[in-house]
A and B are shown apart, each in its own frame.
Chain A
Amino acid sequence: MILMEGVKKFFGGLKALDIDRIELGTHHVEGIIGPNGAGKSTLIKAILNVDEYEVNSGKITYQGKNLVGKKTWKIARQGIVCSPQAIQEIPSLTVEENLYLAVNKIPEKLTDPFLRTSEMVKKESEKKVEEVMHMFSLDKKCDCAGCDLSTPEKRLLNTARALLMNPKILFLDEPLAGVRGKEREVMQKFIKKAPFPIVLIEHSPDVIWNTCDYVFFMMAGSIKIHGTVNAVRKNKEVIKQYLGV
C-alpha cells in the first residue's frame, strides 16, 4: 500500500533514514522492531511528512499517489492514520470532545454556531463514537478532561481516536507502552481484529511474535531484515548479532 523507494533523511550530518525499498500495509499486522534510535518513529513521521521530517530524497507513494511534500493533515485525510508515541491528547477537551473532533469529516467553519453543525456531527457519528468508547472502556470517563486520564487510558484514547478516522492503514507507535492488564488485552484484541492493515512499532518482542504476521527489523535508519514472523523469529540469532548481545 505504501511504497518507499530510495528514501534518505538527514538531520544535519546525521543519517536518520536510508531505505532501499519497502512496501507497508500488504499484510494484516506488520511490526517494526529495532533498538532505540533505529529510526522506527522517524520512518513513520517521514511518511506523514511531519514538520522537519520531510525526506531529503526518494519516493513515498500511497497506491501510486505521491506523499512526499504533502501536508500532514492531507495525508491523514487520505486514510493514512498514525497514533504517535508521545502521549498526545488535547488536554482542554473532554474525552468525548477529543473523539468527536477526530471523527468529524465535515469541515469546521467559523459559521458553525449558526449552522447547527454540532448537531449534524453528533447525528452522523454518535453511534460510531459510542461504539469505540465502549470498545476501549473509555465511556465511563467520557466527560473527563483529556488531562485527567491515566497514562494507559491516554494511550487508549490515542488509539480510539485513530480508529475513528476510518483509516485505510494505521500506524501505531508503541501503543502498549505502560499499558497493562485489561487495557492491554483490549488493545491486542483490537489490533488482531482490525479490518485494515496495521503497522506496529513495539519494543516488547512477545507482542510482536504474538500479534504480527510480518516483521521489519530496523537499525541505524535502514531495514536490515524483513520477513514473516516465523522467518524472522528463526533469524533471532542474526538479530542478536546485530544488537551485539
Chain B
Amino acid sequence: MIDYIIYAITIACVYAIMGIMLHLQFGLCGVLNFGTAGYFAIGAYSVAILTTLMGYPFIVSVLVGAILCAIVGFLIGKPLSHLSPDFLFIVTLAFGEIVRQLATSEAWLTNGVAGIYPISNPLKFLPFYDIAYLFIVALICGALIFYSIKVRASPFGKLLIGVRDNPLISEYIGKDVAKARLTIFIFGSMIIGVAGSLYAPLLGMVNPAQFGPLVAFVAFISLMVGGKESPFGSILGSIILVFGIIYIFDFLPIPIIQDYKLVFSSVRFVVFGAILILFLRFRPKGLLKGAAL
C-alpha cells in the first residue's frame, strides 16, 4: 500500500509539472497549447529509446528529450506566435496526434504499438529508490511552483499577462508580443518533455496509446477547474478530478460501480466534458481564481 502511495504522489508531481507549464502558457499568457501529449511523448520516448534500448545515462536522455522539445516547439511555435488562438489550438492539437501516429508507425524506432519496456528507475541502485525518486521529482515540481510565483511578480510575468489580456495595447507599448508567446511556448514544451522523461520510469513502459488526446484534455480540465491563474490550480484540479474521481472509483468496493467499471471509465469523461463546459460558463477562472497569490 505504501508503495502505491509513493507511486501515486510521484505521478501526481509529474502531472503537476505539466499543469504548471500549462498555467504559465495558458493561464498567464493565453497560449492555448493542446499538444501537451506530443511533448510528453517525446520526453518519454527519449528515455525509452536512449536509456533502455541504447544504454545512455538517464540524464542524457532527459537532456536530449528537452532539447528536441525545444527545437520542435520553436519550429511549430514560431509561425504560430503571430497568429490567433484558433491556429495555435488546431496546430498543436494536430501535433499531439501526429507524434502519437509517428510513435505507432515508426516501429523501427519506437517498437510501434507494442511499446518499449521495461524502463527501469534510474535510481534503482539505491536502497529506497522510489522514495529518492519521489524526492527528486517533488523537488523539481516545487522549484517550478516557486518559479511560477516569482514570475508573476516579475516584469516578464507582467508582460505575459499583458499579452494575454490585450496583445494590441502590448504592441502599442513596444512589447514584442510574438516573442513573448514563443518564449513561453518553447520553455513550456521543454519542461513538459522533462515531465515525460520522469514519467517513463514510473510506468515502466511507453506505448503510443498513453499519449492520446486524453492527456491534453485531462491536463486542461484540471487546470480550468483548479484555476488557470494560480500555480496551484492544476494541482488542485488534478486532486479533485484525477485522484478524486478516477482513483477513488477504481478502488471503492461498492459492487455496482465495479460491475459497470468499463462503462464508467467512458462515462467519467462525459462528466469531465460537462464539468469543463460548466466551469467555462460559470467559473472561468476556476476554483482558485488566482487567489493563491
Contacts and interface: CB of A to CB of B under 8 A. Distances in A.
A–B contact with Cβ pairs below 8 Å: the answer is yes
Interface of A: 48, 50-51, 71-74, 76-77, 81-84, 88-93, 97, 100-102, 104, 106, 108-110, 112-113, 117-118, 121, 146, 161, 165
B183 A110 contact: yes
Contact of A101 (B155, B176, B183): B155
The 3 residue pairs across chains A and B that have the minimum distance between CB atoms: A113-B150, A112-B154, A88-B169
Among B156, B173, B177: residue with most chain A CB under 10 A: B173
B119 interface: no
Contact of B172 (A88, A91, A100, A121): A88
Interface string B133-177: 000000000000001001101111111011011101111111111
21 contacts: A50-B168, A51-B168, A71-B171, A73-B174, A76-B173, A77-B174, A84-B168, A88-B166, A88-B168, A88-B169, A88-B172, A90-B162, A90-B166, A91-B166, A92-B165, A97-B158, A100-B155, A101-B159, A101-B162, A108-B154, A118-B153
A112 B221 CA distance: 29
B171 A108 contact: no
Contacts, number: 96
Given A89-B166, A101-B158, A101-B162, A50 B171 contact: yes
B interface majority secondary structure: helix
Given A90-B166, A113-B151, A100 B171 contact: no
Interface residues of B, number: 30
B76 interface: no
Given A93-B162, A110-B187, A72 B172 contact: yes
Nearest to A115: B154
A108 B172 contact: no
B154 A102 contact: no
